[in-house]
Amino acid sequence: MRNYTANDIKDMFDSYKQHVSHIIVAHTNHRPYVASTSVGRFKHVRTDSYMKQKIVETSKDTRYALNCFNKLLYPNATNKVRRKPDLYKPLAFVTIEGAKETTDRAQTIHINIAIGNLPKTLTTQDIETLFRHVWHEKAKQKDDIKVMACDDRDWFGYSLKEAQQQPRRSWDTDSIWDVGNCWLPHSALKAD
């Protein structure tokens, strides 16, 4: 059995591209530079341990933010997404980038979310406002968020660039792909 590659992940994401309406890029408060400032003979172990811990924290914060975001999508029925996720929960493909040793003090670990199956009444600005609220105010992460309508650019290739540069990160435990925060609302996608 072979390990999957960044191209395998991209192909799977691409097969759902017609259902993706927006791309979200959100930065965390986690700075990889902190890990690279460690010194001594165990520096590599401390750096790896720090990065793995920050990836886990980023994934948990992403899950929390997405759950809060989902509740805000239908203000008159806040549990609609939880009761019927196959119809109302947004499609989401999540990747975590920037969790590698760097000398750039400004770089942060950040997430990329390709999202779809959102209420048609929401504009790109509405989505940004809602996600900014849950990411910054609720999850206590940076206010550095960008939401864009999905276009013809290769967003999936872009969000998997670190997996292409470091093939092991396509399938390792500290993978680029945050599988646990991805969702395919099968019933809703079949309705189109």
DSSP conformation class of 156: H
Quote the pLDDT of residue 68. Answer: 96
Quote the pLDDT of residue 186. Answer: 82
Quote the pLDDT of residue 82. Answer: 92
Q: Taking the alpha carbons of 75, 78, 80, 82 in that order, is the dihedral positive or negative?
A: positive
Q: What are the tens digits of pLDDT across the range 33-61?
A: 766 555 555 455 567 788 889 999 999 99
Tokens of 40: 């001594």
Q: Is the pTM of this model over 0.75?
A: yes
**CA max distance for the chain:** 58
- Looking at residues 11-16, what average pLDDT do you find? 92
Q: What are the tens digits of pLDDT across the range 80-105?
A: 999 999 999 999 999 999 888 777 88
Quote the pLDDT of residue 126. Answer: 97
% the chain with pLDDT above 70:
90
Quote the pLDDT of residue 38. Answer: 56
Q: Do residues 51 and 97 lie in contact, with contact meaning Cβ atoms separated by under 8 Å?
A: no
